[in-house]
Amino acid sequence: MKKLIFILILLPLMISCTDNNNKAEKILSNADSLLQAGNTDKAIMLLERINGKSLTGADARAKYCLLLTKAYNTLGKVLSNDSLIDFSIKYFEKTKNHTDLARSYYYKGMCMLDRGDFENGVILLKKAESEEKLSSDPSLRQYIYINLSHVNLESGNYKTALRYSLKALENAEKRNNTIWMCVSLDKTASCYYFMNKKDSAELYMSRIIPLLEKINDKEMSSMFLNNIGLIWYEKGLYEKAEPMFREAFNLLDVPTTRINLAKVCYARGKTEVCDTLLAKALEGANFDEKAEIYQFMAEKAEKENRPEEANIFHKKEKIMQDSALARKKTEEMLSLQNEYDNMKKDEMTGQRIGMIIIISVSVLLFFAISSVFLFRRRANRTRRLITEIRRETDKYQRELEDAERTSRGDKKEIERLRKKLEQGEARLSAILDHGKDLYESVKLDGNVSKWSKDDFEAVVEYLRAKMPNEVRMIEETHTKLTAYATFFLLLSAIGMDAADTARIMGISQGAVRTMRHRLKKKEKGENNN
């Protein structure tokens, strides 16, 4: 009789658990469908209705962790620890679910790329590539190929980037997917552009034009038109570039399209139209866009022999750059604080699996607007900028010396050249000071968890000025190092042991040993087979 009562008591609980699981699995299925269709916001709303700890089945928990990671990543948020997706990977590896394992590898790889860990991010994308071949998921394949192309392009591995962009193009053409084809053509053109094969870049970008009429998304069409225009602008084909920029502007009236149109109008002698566009662009521009506008206005003033105005614009450019950096740091701190508060609530209500900290950042996503205007971007932008500034200051120094050597030297010209030198030195000092501040912040007790790619580049350039021999030795003895990897290797040269390196990089000492071993394989002359 006691057994019968016990069973009767348990029966409602079992039915309740089954009902909850069935309901949760239905929500997961709906959320997955919404994510596949691009309705990320609705998917997030569904996923947040699920009490993670109430999922009793390992399969449902693994799927929940995967979908939550995918949703956050798609929204442009990076998870600072991998507890969710690691649970998914471990489960799908055990069950040999190739489709979901490939997706899990992919999204963990994307999270790592977002955090600046390019080496491990690429390794995971390669794992996803291998696993996807066992499951055949054309959509995932496209994401893998295009992002492997993107990250290799950012790292300067142009041939590898081209190989993956062509794979993406082939996959897109097989599926006759217009948007995939346009993105793949765009990425292929980028590769050729940075390989200094501008004719090939123009050829692939031009193939996008007849496809645009099939794209209903005005924002996306505008982005492609901008890139086509930028190719022709860079080649000096201003008459061809202007209609592209103008059509992009008509589709999407934002500061970026105004800036592009203003530049080509100025190149074609339409100064008043240029000034009107720039003035309007300033009204709605963010700090980064304002910095770009003021930089162009300074260059314009210099060409028109208005040195005092050029100096004012350069100062405004610097103010905007500093403001953009300060805003980014503030947003990161607010995001961390908000998430900490949320975690405290979750500890009391038991709403989450594991601990997650979410930091808002721009990510390497398939249709990320920040990566589409790619012809403005360069591998190691900081080093390139420093090189350009030094080249300009050397030129002005030679011109100044020639002018001062002449007994009847033009005093106005001498003063102009001196101001140019001061401006160049101020810009160079600002970059190196930023690198110094970052370096000093982690040297004693900080870490690089909030650093961007530009921050790593700035620190490496500061250390290049401080200890040129050590930086040169690392670069000469290794192949294709990112700024992240260069900084990691420099820590040993600075005198940091494994414990200090682990603290600064925000990884375990075991991960430090693993990374040293992997970077050892990048040494020139090392047998990597």
Own/partner long-range contacts of 122-128 (Cβ < 8 Å, ≥24 apart): 122/148, 122/151, 122/152, 125/151, 128/102, 128/103
Residue-wise pLDDT tens digits, 291-305: 888 888 888 888 787
379 has a pLDDT exceeding 70: no
**What per-residue confidence (pLDDT) applies to 499?**
86
The more confidently predicted of residues 378 and 425 is: 425
CA dist 449 and 229 (Å) reads 37
Residue 482 has pLDDT above 90, yes or no: no
Looking at residue 327, its pLDDT comes to 67
Judged by average pLDDT, the poorest of 233-247, 279-293, 473-487 is 473-487
Instruction: List the structure tokens of 38.
Output: 């691009």
Q: Which helix (H) or strand (E) holds 479?
A: none
8 A C-beta contact, residue 347 and residue 365: no
Largest Cα–Cα distance of the chain, in whole Å?
A: 118
Specify the residue for token string 């050029």: 310
pLDDT attached to residue 17: 46
Lowest mean pLDDT, pick from 88-102, 432-446, 490-504: 432-446
Condensed to tens digits (0 to 9), the pLDDT of residues 392-450 reads 666 777 777 777 776 555 777 777 777 777 776 776 777 778 788 888 888 777 888 77
Which pair of tokens denotes residue 457? 């580049």
Asked whether the predicted pLDDT for residue 164 surpasses 90, the reply is: yes
Q: Tokens for 271?
A: 């100064």
Lowest mean per-residue pLDDT among 104-108, 157-161, 475-479: 475-479
Q: Once rounded to an integer, what is the mean pLDDT over residues 15-20?
A: 46
CA distance 60 to 62: 5
Confidence (pLDDT) at 67:
82
pLDDT digit string, tens, across residues 166-221? 999 999 999 999 999 999 999 999 888 888 788 899 999 999 999 999 988 888 88
